[in-house]
Amino acid sequence: MEYSNGSRGKTVARGARSTRVVSISAVLLIAIAGCGYNDVVDRDEDVKGAWGEVQNQYKRRADLVPSLVKVVKGAAEFEQETLKQVVEARASVGGINVDSSVIDDPQKLAQFEAAQAKLSGALSRLLVVSENYPDLKASAAFRDLQAQLEGTENRIAVARGRYIETVAEYNKVVLRFPTSIGAGMRGKKERPSFAGDPGTEKPPEINL
CATH number at residue 88: 1.20.1440.20
Q: Say whether the peptide bond before residue 204 is cis (omega within 30 degrees of 0).
A: no
Q: Residue 61's pLDDT is what?
A: 97
Residue 53: domain span: 35-201
Q: Residue 124's pLDDT is what?
A: 95
pLDDT over threshold 80, residue 208 = no
Global confidence as pTM: 0.79
In a domain, 10, yes or no: no
Rg of the chain over all Cα atoms, to the nearest angstrom: 28
In a domain, 109, yes or no: yes
In a domain, 26, yes or no: no
pLDDT over threshold 90, residue 20 = no
Among the listed residues 93, 125, 128, 127, the one whose alpha carbon sits nearest the alpha carbon of residue 112: 93
In a domain, 6, yes or no: no
Mean pLDDT value of segment 29-42: 66
Residue 26 pLDDT level (bands cut at 50, 70, 90): very low
Render pLDDT for 150-200 as a digit per residue (tens, 0 to 9).
999 999 999 999 999 999 999 999 999 888 888 888 889 999 999 865 444
The count of domains in the chain is 1
